[in-house]
């Protein structure tokens, strides 16, 4: 009886703690204050989906600079951002990142880099990592 009861609970925990997502490619653009200094992003209108995207979280990784002549554009890190607004000037595959978020993945002076990003679901463990 104990094993039968534990199996569904274990499966439920694995499902809750696992995120199924597919990475997308695009570009990241930096945007300037005024805003509270946190890891946030604006997204294109189609991705924004009339506000339904607010609160979604994306894990973003720089894959290269937009200018191939510049080496070491990316830091090698990823950043987790929260969607807070619609970007009026972004193309369909662009995210506009706060300065802090952009600086975590690339050299801030570049202003635009090629990225890979994926939506993820905040797990119970992740909830303690975020202060926003």
Q: Per residue in 56-95, pLDDT tens?
A: 999 999 999 999 888 899 999 999 999 999 999 998 889 9
Structural domains present in the chain: 21-127 (2.40.40.10)
Q: What is the pTM of this model?
A: 0.73
| Buried/exposed code over 45-72 (b: 16+ C-beta within 10 A; e: otherwise) | eebbeeeebeebbbbbbbbebeeeeeee
| pLDDT, position 123 | 72
SS3 of the chain: CHHHHHHHHHHHHHHHHCCCCCCEEEEEEEECCCCCCCCEEEECHHHHHHHCCCCCEEEEEEEEECCCCCCCCECCCEEEEEEEEECCCCCCCEEEEEHHHHHHHECHHHCEEEEEEEEECCCHHHHCCCCC
Q: 10-43, pLDDT tens digit by residue?
A: 444 444 444 445 688 888 888 776 666 689 999 9
Contacts for 76 with CB less than 8 Å, ≥ 6 apart: none
């Amino acid at each position: 009886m104990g094993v039968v009861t534990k199996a569904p609970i274990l499966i439920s925990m694995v499902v809750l703690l696992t995120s199924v997502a597919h990475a997308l490619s695009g570009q990241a653009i930096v945007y300037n204050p005024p805003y509270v200094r946190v890891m946030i992003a604006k997204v294109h209108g189609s991705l924004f989906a009339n506000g339904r995207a607010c609160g979604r979280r994306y894990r973003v990784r720089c894959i290269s600079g937009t200018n191939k002549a510049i080496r070491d554009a990316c830091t090698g890190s990823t950043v987790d951002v929260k969607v807070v607004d619609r970007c009026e000037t972004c193309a369909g595959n662009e995210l506009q990142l706060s300065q802090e978020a952009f600086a975590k993945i690339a050299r801030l002076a570049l202003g635009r880099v090629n990225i890979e990003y994926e939506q993820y679901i905040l797990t119970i463990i992740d909830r303690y990592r975020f202060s926003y």
